[in-house]
């Protein structure tokens, strides 16, 4: 179970040289989350997605109770796809209900919200195993939720895994509901860990763009984002190199492949074991 410190983001920016080193990486993740929401739905008020009023606690409780009822049914019928789909949605809604949005648009994720997202991630994984045709509507909810979890990650591999899962969810959307926004959003997600897929998604988005002006706009947005994603991977490479050098100096045989927490990160877990529109 996540502790109260789960609300801390992937990168600790509280001053010092190490914080400065990773500040740009945190910014990239934050931009990714915000822009992915914008690209998916167009002009959008975040407060409409995340509850930011006094009724959020009651809303969360209602969704949590719904999830509990579904879990009881799953005990009798484990692996039933529709139940897992409903459970994932309820858990995401429970998490969203406990996220507040500041006037600046910044999201504040409580420990309880993060815990619900973790549950939803697990339920989503089980749902994918249980169905041959995942629901695109649910995938639209899952993808940005996984980006939120990526912001809460405590190591590069953990962040990458969550971003990759977000990309996979968005691929479900593009397969079933191809559109300019769907493909462009997939490109945004994929530039972090799979640039080749991102370029393919860019090309598909441009094919569906109705005019030259929109194609140029797509390129302009994605070119800028590609630069930021490149910086993310660059910082990750530095971290992996530093790990290997540290291990070598300590007499080890090599690094851990980037599995240690990112420099400057406080790891509340004490080490790693490992709707929306189109």
> Does 215 score more than 60 pLDDT?
yes
Q: How many domains are contained in the chain?
A: 1
Interval 172-195: pLDDT, tens: 999 999 999 999 999 999 999 999
Interval 29-70: pLDDT, tens: 555 555 544 444 343 333 344 444 445 678 889 999 999 999
Interval 64-120: pLDDT, tens: 999 999 999 999 999 999 999 999 999 999 999 998 877 877 778 889 999 999 999
Which distant-in-sequence residues (6+ apart) come within 8 Å of 231 by Cβ? 24, 25, 28
Decide if 254 is inside a domain.
no
Decide if 278 is inside a domain.
no
Instruction: Look at residue 232 in the predicted model and tell me its pLDDT.
Output: 86
Decide if 51 is inside a domain.
yes
Mean pLDDT of the chain: 77
Decide if 152 is inside a domain.
yes
With a pLDDT cut of 70, the percent of the chain lying above it is: 70
Decide if 264 is inside a domain.
no
Boundaries of domain holding 168: 4-249
Contact 25, 231 (CB under 8 A): yes
Domain containing residue 17: CATH number: 1.25.40.10
Cα–Cα distances in angstroms (integers) from residue 176 to residues 97, 154, 170, 197, in the given order: 28, 33, 10, 17
């Amino acid at each position: 179970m996540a502790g109260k410190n789960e609300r801390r983001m992937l990168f600790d920016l509280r001053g010092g040289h190490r914080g400065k080193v990773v500040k740009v990486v945190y910014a990239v993740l934050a931009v990714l989350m915000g822009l992915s929401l914008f690209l998916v739905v167009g002009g959008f008020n975040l407060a409409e997605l995340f509850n930011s009023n006094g009724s959020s606690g009651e809303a969360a409780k209602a969704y949590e109770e719904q999830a509990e009822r579904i879990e009881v049914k799953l005990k009798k019928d484990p692996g039933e796809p529709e139940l897992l789909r409903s459970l994932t949605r309820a858990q995401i809604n429970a998490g969203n209900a406990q996220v507040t949005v500041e006037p600046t648009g910044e999201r504040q994720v409580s420990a309880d919200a993060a815990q619900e997202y973790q549950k939803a991630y697990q339920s989503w994984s089980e749902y994918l195993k249980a169905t041959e045709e995942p629901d695109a509507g649910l995938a639209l909810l899952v993808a940005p939720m996984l980006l939120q979890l990526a912001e809460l990650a405590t190591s590069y591999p953990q962040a990458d895994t969550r971003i990759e899962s977000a990309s996979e969810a968005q691929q479900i959307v593009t397969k079933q509901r191809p559109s300019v926004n769907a493909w462009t959003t997939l490109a945004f997600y994929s530039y972090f860990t799979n640039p080749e897929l991102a370029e393919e998604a860019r090309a598909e988005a441009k094919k569906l763009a109705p005019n030259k002006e929109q194609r140029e706009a797509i390129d302009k947005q994605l070119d800028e984002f590609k630069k930021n994603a490149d910086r993310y991977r660059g910082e990750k490479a530095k971290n992996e190199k530093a790990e290997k050098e540290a291990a070598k100096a300590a007499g080890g045989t090599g690094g851990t492949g980037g599995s240690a927490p990112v420099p400057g990160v406080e790891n509340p877990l004490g080490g790693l074991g490992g709707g929306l529109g189109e």
